[in-house]
Amino acid sequence: MLTGSLVAIVTPMLPDGALDFARLKSLIEWHIAEGTEGIVIVGTTGESPTVDFDEHRTLIKAAVEYAAKRLPVIAGTGGNSTKEAIQLTEFAKLAGADYALSVVPYYNKPTQEGQYRHFRAIAESTDLPIILYNVPGRTVADLSNDTTLRLAEIPNVVGIKDATASMARGADLLKRARKDFGIYSGEDVSTLPLLFLGAHGTISVTANIAPRLMRDMCAAALKGERAKAIEINNRLLGLHSQLFLESNPIPVKWALHRMGLIESGIRLPLTPFDAKFHGLLLEAMQAAGVHEKLKEVA
């Protein structure tokens, strides 16, 4: 089972929006060095809605190549078309990904039965382990705990990224799910409480810019070192909130650019981070100690 801090990695882009594979490789090397325990490629933070089908597959293949089995690669392969989600999952398997992350279908608002059949069809098309991804704030459709537990009966449905930020939902799922079903926080602010309740890790935005701290916080919580975990989380609280001053990944890409780790590229309809928020995010970066990596940019 995957445990600990799994980064929902950004997709580096050049100022004109072209994919920047050199920067992606260097980011993955950095995460390996910092102890990140898994890479989620082409998820929400990776701008999956604005990369085309071929780019999506190329990013998965590149992440697998760059990681070189030094840490797991979880490929974002979801979609609101079951057929397309199956095709992406099949590609991820062939490319050598270790897991697939499959988001609840968005926009078309499937029922609970529709969601169940969608994920079952994906799981039955492959032997790749599938992690469900419930983020109703973006998809509108909400995967209920009851439907999640139905899906957990399928052998290769192995976990869920819960981005509801609901402690009640998380606690109920942890109480009722089988012990080997991975439950991961999908909201940084809820990571520590869920870990204390028995969750297995996080799929994190904050880990993009503070990978060592997120790794250490998760490790402390999983080992029962509550005081240490709380102390680290207190340092990170500003990032957990200020990285969402505008829609993710706008702020985190600005922060990484400010640190000199990526170029400034982001694709429409996302826009550059509003200057009125720069000071707030810089303060949060300083509180976490990542200001030491800042690089002045024009």
- Active-site annotation holds for 83: no
Among 161, 175, 228, 276, which one carries the catalytic annotation?
161
3-state secondary structure 117-132: HHHHHHHHCCCCCEEE
* Contact call for residues 2 and 159 (beta carbons, < 8 A): yes
Strands 99-103 vs 130-134: parallel, antiparallel or unpaired? parallel
Going by their DSSP bridges, the two strands 130-134 and 157-162 should be labelled as parallel
Annotated active-site residue in 66, 99, 116, 133:
133
- For 136, residues 6+ apart whose C-beta sits below 8 A from its C-beta are 104, 142, 143, 163, 164
C-alpha–C-alpha distance, residues 16 and 198, integer Å: 43
Catalytic-residue membership of 228: no
List the structure tokens of 188: 């940084």
Closest CA to 109 of 66, 140, 136: 140
CA distances from 158 to 161, 235, 268 (A): 11, 32, 34
Residues tagged active-site: 133, 161
